[in-house]
Copies of this chain bind each other. A is one copy, B any other.
Amino acid sequence: METLSLCHLFRGLSEAQVARLAAITREVPIGKGQCLGHEGEPAKEFFVLKDGAVEQITKVGGDFELPIAMLREAGSSFGASGLVAPYLYSLSARCAEDGTMLVIQLADLQKLMEEDRAIGCTIMTNWATHLLGRLKETRQQLKIHFKCLLTSMHP
């Protein structure tokens, strides 16, 4: 319950609403090197980190792995992209340190969100807020590249 309510996706839910989530959550151990999901593949599960560390990565040019984030904080999550079309993992995630994950089947989460629209609205608003933040960060990184390019053209 406590770890679930730390997850950014579940911020603002009441205790009773988090209890409904807890009822569809199971706790599983994860080992270093274990993959939680592969970029571009159908997303079946949503993961919330309880302890340990998980690395989010994306492939560049087929073989080079570009690290996106290292999840270490309890409540960090992976797999929310499976909540919307095209229902795929948008990144890969690999366990970097032995730990424990809370796992929710995305089909169960979708069902709960449809049954309880207030939960659905809160989760989707939280997720859109998170995505907008990520989009801004990524645009910022792109701007840095443009700035370097501009400087190299007009030193």
Given contacts A90-B135, A142-B145, 9 further A-B contacts (CB under 8 A): A64-B146, A66-B146, A68-B139, A84-B125, A84-B128, A84-B129, A120-B121, A121-B121, A138-B142
Chain B residues with Cβ below 8 Å from A150 are: 60-61, 64
How far is B82's CA from A61's CA once the two chains are assembled, in angstroms?
Answer: 36
Q: For the complex formed by this chain, how many copies does it contain in all?
A: 2
Set of chain B residues within 8 Å of A117, measured between Cβ atoms: 117-118, 120-121
Q: Hey, which bits of chain A sit against chain B, CB under 8 A?
A: 58, 60-61, 64, 66, 68, 81, 83-85, 90, 113, 117-118, 120-121, 124-125, 127-129, 131-132, 134-136, 138-139, 141-143, 145-147, 150
Residues of B within 8 A of A135 (CB): 90, 131, 134-135, 138
